[in-house]
Amino acid sequence: MIKIVIESVILLFIFFLIYAILPTLIIRMSGWGIIKRINAPAIALTFDDGPNPEYTPQLLDLLQKYGVKASFFVVGSKVKANPAIIKRMCQEGHTIGIHHYDHISSWILSPFRLKKQLKMTEQAISEITHEKVTFYRPPWGSFNIASLFLSKQFKVIIWSDIFGDWKVAKGKNGLLEQLLQATEAGSVLLLHDCGETWGADRLAPRYMLQSLEIYLQENINKGTKFITLNEVNF
């Protein structure tokens, strides 16, 4: 009996390795089918996990204050719950992409469930914006063996810079310093406008917004340009 259990665990691990871990490593390391940087003399600000009814409107206010356009990778179920925020994003010229219907890793999605997550989120966005959805970023940047085949209708965007801003402690200790170093043209910066996902802190976006405003002030004064993904010629 113990032998059967051990063999089953080993087989399960091998399957998981082949189906999820290895594809993610290969895709992320090779850059196959994904975009980590943009070919433009500007920086792309991107935000994951929203819309959040408290922090996303504050973020939109901040971006509007400085005349900056950004890109949002949204969770479909939250789109359904907060349609007015999505409508505002669209009206103010921001790019809206897919971040699954639920904030769930591709590692534990079958090809059928992954396809459903993409389709449902695409539909939720387009019903509000009446625009084609072009971009996709999987939660945690995780892929499975079917990911790029099922998402080939989208441009898969990862990031060049990630900051751990989903934790409160990071926002209090080091986020601004890291942001201020992320000034290279072509960078794709990843931040989060929602702290409700697994492993995140609910108050984390508050500190992200504080650091982001200082970052925008300093870089706009230096002439740094910020663009949305829709403005990039891929």
Task: Please confirm, yes or no, whether 192 is among the known catalytic residues.
Answer: yes
**Number of domains observed in the structure of the chain:** 1
CATH number of residue 117's parent domain = 3.20.20.370
Domain of residue 123: give its range. 2-231
Classify residue 141 by its DSSP letter: G
Q: How confident is the model at residue 8 (pLDDT cuts 50, 70, 90)?
A: low
Catalytic residue among 100, 165, 192, 193: 192
Which one of the listed residues 48, 49, 161, 165 is annotated catalytic? Answer: 48
Residue 173 has pLDDT above 80, yes or no: yes
Is the pLDDT confidence value at 148 over 80?
yes
d(CA 147, CA 115): 9
Asked about 49 being catalytic, the answer comes back as no
Sign of CA dihedral 169, 173, 175, 178: negative
Q: What is the mean pLDDT of the chain?
A: 94
Q: Give me the mean pLDDT over the 68-79 stretch.
A: 98
